[in-house]
Structure 1
Amino acid sequence: MDENAFWLLIEECGPPTPDPEGEELAAALEARLAKGPVSAVVGFAERLAELLYRLDRREYGEDLSGDAFLYVRAAVIVAGRREYEAVLADPRRFAPFAADQVWAESLIYVPDRAYEGLTGREWSRDTRYSFESYSNTAGWERG
């Protein structure tokens, strides 16, 4: 799944009313991806991990716990492509997500749940990029 397809899926599955923590979005994504094919689930997981990895930088998460930082980064993705790109361009735009403690934990588990719904099996996935907090070592170097 390329980046444009990922963001289109986020847009199409987003609810018509505000959903900052992504609960409705996650449910819609899971339902859509659970229809298959497995390659779509894998592609979504890869792209989600990469986008979270890009936000895994010192200027965003220095004062956050690992879990909080992960779930706040997920909330930036829930906010959509325009906001995600704005945060990448200006790290100060990340601060309101962290200050308001906007956590979109449910987005993280969408690929796992969709895979299980599609195949009936639990998925122990590995992605090219780790979405775990502080895994982007280059983003945490002191410069």
Structure 2
Amino acid sequence: MDEDSFWLLIENCRPGAPDPDAEHLAATLTTRLAAGPLSAVIGFAENLAWALYRLDRREYGRDLSGDAFLYTRAAVVADGRDAYDRVLGNPAKFVPYAAGLVWAESLLYVPDRAYEHITGEEWGRNTRYSYESYSNAAGWSDGVDTA
């Protein structure tokens, strides 16, 4: 799954009504991915991790706890590509997500649930990029070379 396919899948699975905790989105994504090949699940997991990793920067999360920061970044992703691109281009656009405590924790479990549905086993997955808060060292550096 490439990046365009990832965002198209999210857009196609987003509900027409507000989904404050992304529960509907997560359930629909899980159902769609569980019906497809395992490679789509893996591709979704990689793209999700990359999107979250790119938002893992000081200018977004300096005043949030690790969990709050992670779930808020997930809410940005759940809001779709246009919203994500706006936030990525302007950290001030992240503030309403953080201030409103709109979280999308359920989005994080989509690949694991789809994988388990397909294989019958838990997924001890690793993605190329970690989506855990503060894992993007370059995003949290102060720009000073300590070497």
Q: Same fold (TM over 0.5)?
A: yes
Q: CA deviation at 1:80?
A: 0.7
Match of 1:45 in 2: 45
Amino acid at match of 1:10: I
Tell me if the contact between 1:20 and 1:79 (Cα under 8 Å) persists in the aligned partners: no
Amino acid at match of 1:111: P
Q: CA deviation at 1:36?
A: 2.2
Structure 1: gaps (5+ residues): none
Q: CA deviation at 1:18?
A: 1.4
Separation in 1, partners of 2:79, 2:43: 20
Q: CA deviation at 1:21?
A: 2.0
Match of 2:133 in 1: 133
Separation in 1, partners of 2:32, 2:106: 15
Match of 2:124 in 1: 124
Separation in 2, partners of 1:20, 1:91: 21
Separation in 1, partners of 2:50, 2:20: 21
Query: Runs in 1 of length 4+ with deviation above 4 angstroms?
Result: none
Report matched runs for 1:32-71 at 5 Å: 32-71=32-71
- Kindly provide the CA deviation profile for residues 15-57 of structure 1, in whole angstroms up to 9, marking residues without a partner as x: 1111132110000000000112000000000000000000000
Tell me if the contact between 1:6 and 1:47 (Cα under 8 Å) persists in the aligned partners: yes
Match of 1:113 in 2: 113
Q: CA deviation at 1:6?
A: 0.4
Separation in 2, partners of 1:52, 1:31: 22
Separation in 1, partners of 2:21, 2:99: 14
Structure 2: gaps (5+ residues): none
Separation in 1, partners of 2:79, 2:91: 15
Match of 1:24 in 2: 24
Separation in 1, partners of 2:93, 2:49: 21
For the pair shown, which has the larger CA radius of gyration, 1 or 2? Answer: 2
**Secondary structure, counterpart of 1:109 in structure 2:** helix
Match of 1:4 in 2: 4
**Secondary structure, counterpart of 2:121 in structure 1:** coil
Q: When the two structures are superposed, what TM-score results if normalisation uses the length of structure 1?
A: 0.98
Match of 2:14 in 1: 14
Tell me if the contact between 1:74 and 1:108 (Cα under 8 Å) persists in the aligned partners: yes
